[in-house]
Amino acid sequence: MTHARQSGRVLVTGATGMLGSQVLCAAPAGVEAVGSGRSAARPGAPAVELAGFDLCAPGAVEELFLRAGPLSGVVNCAAHTAVDKAEEEEPLALRQNAEVPAALARACAERGLAFVHVSTDFVFDGSGTRPYRPDDPTSPLGAYGRTKLEGERRVRAAHPGAAIVRTQWLYGPRGKHFPGTILALAATKPELKVVHDQVGAPTSTLELAPALWDVLLGRASGVFHAACEGRASWFDFARATLELAGSSTPIHPCTTAEFPRPARRPAYSVLDCATLTALRGRPLKPWREALADFLAHERLLTTR
């Protein structure tokens, strides 16, 4: 997808996180991307001009827009993403996942700016048997999904022209990620057990970030799904990681019940990304190909 004569300054919130930092890195030519985030940038991350910015503070959004200067759009990657912790701190998750996005959307609507808000597959309950379409009924299982769904509702109410992009199973170059965790465990344990009864699509931020730019610069509106092509269980994801990295550590499938967590996860949350594919003219890469690219990027790949 090409964008004729695109230019301007775009604010990326949550820019010190795994996704936001990659969105900054993937800014197209002619776009000046400025990032904001609560924490310091992680090693290897791009410089974040507005670091240490807590969007939950009173008046923070208006101050952020003032400090960011004239803008043409905003990509919101800021979120409370600790799924299990959200069960015990839902009010905080609601502020970060619903109240802040609504304030950002309102500020963008008042200024006539494009707005892209990142959401999640956790808005679904996982009882489906085919990939979820953007217009399928939602029914979150826990606090994280509830607060993200409420964020979607408030964003749409505040800015009818906004785009909401649901994604899933993210990993990327900066921060803690599943492939790195698996490889670290494989280096210290004689064998691994990983759940096989949760199915989704592992999605690399190297693939997702350019897609978010396409949505923003195309001034698309509505709900989109964005995930790498195909489907996999966490066991499939882990096994592929070990194979591509050349690890011989044995790995075995197990059930979710064997590794109970505070928050319930959707058993099936594959996303139908046809609408995004039509917008961009191409899908995100198949998940295993994207994983190989990521491991090569991280210099963890030994075989294909």
What are the residue numbers of the active site? 144
3-state secondary structure of 37: strand
Q: What is the DSSP string of 229-265?
A: BS-EEHHHHHHHHHHHHT----EEEE-GGGS--SS--
CA atoms within 13 A on the CB side of 230: 14
The whole-angstrom separation of Cα 92 and Cα 96 is 6
CA atoms within 13 A on the CB side of 89: 12
The single residue listed with the structure tokens 């904001």 is: 36
Q: Are strands 232-233 and 199-200 parallel, antiparallel or unpaired?
A: antiparallel
The whole-angstrom separation of Cα 136 and Cα 35 is 33
Q: What is the 3-state secondary structure (H, E, C) of 168-216?
A: CCEECCCCCCHHHHHHHHHCCCCCEEEECCCEECCEEHHHHHHHHHHHH
3-state secondary structure of 267: coil
CB contact at 8 A, 303 and 240: no
Phi-psi region of 14 (alpha: psi -120 to 50; beta: other; left: phi over 0): left
